[in-house]
Amino acid sequence: MALAKRIIPCLDVENGRVVKGVQFVDIRDAGDPVEVAKRYDEQGADEITFLDITATHEGRDTMVHTVEKMASQVFIPLTVGGGIRTCDDIRTMLNAGADKVSINSAAVKNPDFVREAAERFGSQCIVVAIDAKKVSQPGEEDKWEIFTHGGRKPTGLDAVEWAKKMVALGAGEILLTSMDQDGVKNGYDIGVTRAISEAVNVPVIASGGVGNLDHLVEGCIEGKADAVLAASIFHFNEYTVPEAKQYMRDKGIEVRL
């Protein structure tokens, strides 16, 4: 028996509300992140990720209250990402009850921030989020680059080298989103997932592009991811978390049922 592969539903939260909505047949207000998180906990989700897409300062205060509320009602690990730029941001979220924070563009801007954060709060709560896009042409050796600004801005940084550097600086986990796949529902980019998972000694969460349960299986088996993150397939009741887990178990993957 072994450590279970984790299934992590991800919620985009704006001004304290889940955006794009989440449909559960039996909860009245599916826009409340706390209600949604509770339901995923009951279904057996292994963790929850809140991605704060709020632009305003006031909205960010709302997020802190949302995290506080969730932490007093849902007892599985919670990661908060989006707009984490300073050690004060991290302290605020951890004090509110988050277990981990995910750092994205602030790490690209200043890699040393990751070292500072890991030294201060411990690697176990520092997740570095990487948005990678394939830049090699067919026939060339595979190469992926880091992009920022929702995949619009190339950075010239090699994704695998970047992941290794982030871990060396203290990242305790890598949240890898393959941009060319994201939202397309063609599955994770298995190549980059596997390349990074084999290159680092910390857990890697695969994200981006999940359209069906086989994609979760591929992410774990071929991509060698330690956890799989998905949004829309769970939010719109295409599949429930228990269905996903049963399917993965049938394919020989260790899960928590």
Partner 1 sequence: MATVAVIDYGMGNLHSVSKALEHVSPGTEVIVTADPEKVRNADRVILPGVGAIRDCMAEIRRLGVDKEVAEAIASGKPFLGICVGYQALMQDSEENNGVDCLAHFDGHVKYFGDDLTENGERLKVPHMGWNEVYHDDHPLWEGIEDGSRFYFVHSYYVKADQRDLVSATCTYGLEFDVAIARDNVFAVQFHPEKSSKVGLQLLQNFLNWDGKR
Bridge partners (DSSP) of residue 176 are 130, 206
Phi (first) and psi of residue 67, to 5 degrees: -65, -40
Instruction: Match 């600004």 to its residue by tokens.
Output: 149
Pattern 220-249, partner 1, x by CB under 8 A: ------xx----------------------
Q: Which of 123, 148, 240, 246 binds partner 1 (CB under 8 A)?
A: 123
Encoded one letter per residue, x for contact with partner 1 by CB under 8 A and - for no contact, window 165-204 reads -------xx---------------------------xxx-
| Ranges within 127-166 binding partner 1 (CB under 8 A) | none
- Interface residue with partner 1 among 14, 32, 41, 218 (CB under 8 A) is 41
* Phi and psi angles of residue 117, each rounded to the nearest 5 degrees, phi first: -65, -40
Which residue in the list 131, 182, 189, 226 is annotated as catalytic?
Answer: 131
* CB of 91 vs partner 1, minimal distance in Å: 12
Question: Is 226 an active-site residue?
Answer: no
Q: Which residue has the tokens 């949604």?
A: 36
DSSP 165-233: HHHHHT-SEEEEEETTTTTTTS---HHHHHHHHHH-SS-EEEES---SHHHHHHHHHTS--SEEEESHH
Q: Does 86 bind partner 1 (CB under 8 A)?
A: no
Of the residues 61, 99, 116, 158, which one makes contact with partner 1 according to CB under 8 A: 99
Alpha helices in 82-125 (DSSP H): 87-96, 105-109, 112-121
Active site positions, annotated: 12, 131
